[in-house]
Structure 1
Amino acid sequence: MKRDVEIVNLKEISTVFAAQIVGTKEVLYCEDEIEMATYDLMAFKEYAMLNEEREMILDKMKKYGKLYG
């Protein structure tokens, strides 16, 4: 295919990286479509949960310009 690829262990990457991969991936080969779909859903769910958890922090930073004090 004459394209650079990066091979990663999807079980060992960060939530943000997983969501980026799932959102932009190009599947070259898939042996188990159900397992892939399950992973995709879990990656997006974990990313959504992360955003909910850090929303309070980001709001505080916007309001006060800092996180502490």
Structure 2
Amino acid sequence: MNPKQFFDKVVELRQTQREYFRTRLPDALRKSKAIEAEIDKEIKRVQQIEAERAKAAADRLQGSLFPDS
């Protein structure tokens, strides 16, 4: 998911949440929770990518201290 798609999904989530709180319909709640799960999954995916990038950067920095080892 790219940043624009993420933004659009969050907008959709907020709309479904407002609909649920306005109507209290079970279907609106179900839809809201499904979108929230998508967003949570995407956040976890991006956090994993960022953690891997940070580890790779740290490994490169650490490796440069003793290049012949």
TM-score (norm 2): 0.47
If you compute each CA radius of gyration, which structure gives the higher value, 1 or 2?
Answer: 2
More helix by share: 2
